[in-house]
Structure formats: C-alpha cells, structure tokens
Amino acid sequence: MTMTRLLPSREDEDMLETISRFAASEMAPHVAENEESGTFPREVIGKLGALGVLSLPHDEAYGGSAMDDEVALQVVEELARTWATVGVAVTVHWASVHPLWKWGTDEQRKRWLPDLIGGDLLGGFCLSEPEAGSDPGSMKTTATRDGDDYVISGTKAWITHGGDADFYTVMARTSDDGARGISCFLVPGDAPGLTAALPEKKMGLTGSRTSQVQFDHVRVAADRRIGAEGKGLSMALDALDTGRLCIAAVSTGLAQAALDQAAEYARTREQFGQPIIDFQGVSFLLADMSARTSAARALYLDAARRKDRGVPYTRLAAEAKLFASDAAMGVTTDAVQVLGGAGYTKDYPVERLMREAKIMQIFEGTNQIQRHVIGRSYR
C-alpha cells in the first residue's frame, strides 16, 4: 500500500517525490552490500549534498533552504525508510552545524557556514566520552587558552563519522565550573593531533562508522570557539532536542520499511492454500505495526510543528524519540515474526532493520533518559 503524506505545499510534495526517486535509484541498490561490508556511502552523501539535503534547515542567506522541520524531518524519514545509515548521516551533519548556525557570530557564519552546508563536507558531533555519556556535564576533555589559541586534549566516544568527518563540533571543558565550564569549538577534521580510533564493531548500522576521536594537544584558533565560554553544554542540549526529533524520524522510517516488507511478504506467501495475510493472526500483527508507525509519525510531526512555530517542544521531542524508537523496535521484531524462518535469515532485510532499530533506543540519550526528561517537565 502506498503511503501518502500531508505536506504544506505542492513544492514540498515534489521535493519528497524527488527524494523518494533518489532513494530508489541511488541508495536501494547499494544498501545490502555496504552494510554487509561496513562501507560508509560517502558518494551517496555527496549526491544528497548536491541536491541540497545537507542544507535544508539553514538560512537562505548562507546557501540553505530555510525549510521547516515539519518537512525536513519527513525527508529524513524517507531516506531512513530506504537506508538508516544515510538518514542518520544527514541528521548528524545537521547537529554538527547547529551551534554555528544558531550561536555563531555573523562573521563566523559568513566565513564557515556556506562551505559546511554546501554539500561537499561532512560533520561530526563530539559530546560523549568514555566516562561521560548520559551525564555530559562530567566530561574531562579540556580546552586550555594559550594566547590566541585553545589547546584541546581528551577523548570523545561513540562519534558518528569519527575518522570520516571533515569537521567536528567539539564540547570541551574550559573551566572546573561543572556543567557551566563547557565550551563549544569548531575543529577541522585534519587538525594536527586529531585522530580517530578503529571503528566500533556494532550489531547494526554497520555502514555508519562510529569510533572514538582523540585530541592530543589539538590547537585551534580562539575565533573557532562558538558562543561564549561556558555556554557549550546548553548548546549541546539544544542540539539534542532537535536530534531527538531526527532520531524519531529515522525510527519511523525503519518501522515503515519493516511494515512494507512484512505486508508484501504476507500477500505473496501462501500456506494452507491461501495468502498468510488472510489469517487473523497475521493481519492483526500488521494492524498493530501500522498503528504504531502512524502514531510515531504523528508524534514527531506534532513536535516539529511546535518547533517551527517557536512553541516549547523539549518534552514532545523526548516523547517522540521515546515512542518512535520503541515502536521501531517492536515493529521490526514483528516483521521478522511475520516472515517466520525467512525473516531470521539475511535473504530478507527485516533482520537488518531489527538490528538497526535497537540503536534508536540509545541514540541521543537512552530511552531511560527520555523518561527522565519527560517526567521532570511535570515537576
């Protein structure tokens, strides 16, 4: 069954149709091979950059499209529906640009933003550390002022695009004042002293490189600090609000892909002389999968519309990420069940979708952290 979207304008519909055709022609033929070999699809990201996808949320003055989140996130969902690695890559790039775009000076934006969102460069976002994941305020990476420079030393962990990124947005400690002692820096990917460890060996999303990034006295000019000293953590948390919506969109794309695969299989697989979709046990599974997917989409779009209108959306972003990632885990698991033994083999993509869905419950703050954010909003 073809999924229909309600979009604000005909232009938005045409753009989503372009993305859908691109995904079918330029992405779908390479998913299985790249995920099996652990190869990052940099060429695909470059082509998306040429289409303007890497610059969708950003101001037109700097080469962006100034697209509302309501539409941009559906682009992410459509990409993730075909290839989660690509959907995640786009959202991580957006997060990497976010502090410069929102808090950079006019001079900084004019100097760096056009190149960073122009389509040729890829970003990485360096917040987590080996001992500072859910509690980023306890990070130990330091940025020490030395004349007109800062010298950054420490190790960042779980960095998407670690070793592949052309630039990193790095949170580092500039004072001992706890969460208020963290600042934000824009660091070139080829800076002397910056190295990436070997990629993590993950259960899913294997086409996306994740690694530690090490800073060994990396010297950056003071004008590469974004915002005032001590404001880095608040920037990171703001980026995480948007990032949670992005992961909700990716999760919804995964769920939709699993539902599509399961429904197609159930229509063509026959047992006892009839398609298995005619059996109530299977049709009820598909009905629940469909309801979860539609609810996940509605929740992230509600939060996105609030964000577009300047209405507080932090709680809704956490709810969307929590619900959509749990939905993706449930829907992909049920898809394997619909396919039975075939679903447990690599002959069909549903087992990969299930493995990819698991990380969505961990990305951008675990779902336990999301529950903390939601519960705290009622205090």
CA distance 74 to 190: 33
Query: Could you write out the DSSP letters of every residue in 102-133?
Result: HHS-HHHHHHHHHHHHSSS--EEEE--BTTBS
Q: What is the pLDDT of residue 2?
A: 67
Residues 6 or more apart whose Cβ sits within 8 Å of residue 137: 178, 179, 182, 233
Q: CA nearest 89: which of 79, 81, 99?
A: 79
Report which secondary-structure segment, H or E, holds 21: helix 10-22
- Percent of the chain scored above 70 by pLDDT? 99
Distance of CA 136 to the CA centre of its chain: 18
How many other C-beta atoms lie within 10 A of the C-beta of residue 38?
14
CA distance 215 to 152: 6
CA distance 271 to 174: 66
Residue labelled with tokens 């996130």: 73
Q: Is the pLDDT of residue 78 over 80?
A: yes
Residue 346's identity, in one-letter code, is K
Q: What is the pLDDT of residue 133?
A: 85
Q: What is the pLDDT of residue 225?
A: 98
pLDDT digits (tens, 9 = 90+) for 275-320: 999 999 999 999 999 999 999 999 999 999 999 999 999 999 999 9
Over residues 98-113, mean pLDDT? 97
Contact 289, 58 (CB under 8 A): no
Q: Active-site residue numbers?
A: 364
Residue 90's identity, in one-letter code, is V
pLDDT digits (tens, 9 = 90+) for 115-157: 999 999 999 999 999 998 889 989 999 999 999 999 999 999 9
User: What count of Cα atoms within 13 Å lies in the side-chain half-sphere of residue 94?
Assistant: 33
Backbone φ/ψ region at 191: left (φ over 0), alpha (ψ -120 to 50), beta = beta
Q: CA nearest 96: which of 173, 160, 177?
A: 160
Q: What is the pLDDT of residue 14?
A: 95
At 115, list the tokens: 């190149």
Average pLDDT of the chain to the nearest whole number: 97
Over residues 365-375, mean pLDDT? 96
Q: Is the pLDDT of residue 1 over 70?
A: no
At 293, list the tokens: 């997917």
Residues 192-201 as b/e (b if ≥16 CB within 10 A, e otherwise) read eebebeebee
- Percent of the chain scored above 90 by pLDDT? 96
What's the whole-model pTM score?
0.97
pLDDT digits (tens, 9 = 90+) for 190-205: 999 999 999 999 999 9
Torsion of CA 260, 343, 326, 232, to 10 degrees: -90
pLDDT digits (tens, 9 = 90+) for 321-367: 999 999 999 999 999 999 999 999 999 999 999 999 999 999 999 99
pLDDT digits (tens, 9 = 90+) for 209-262: 999 999 999 999 999 999 999 999 999 999 999 999 999 999 999 999 999 999
Torsion of CA 188, 42, 296, 128, to 10 degrees: -30
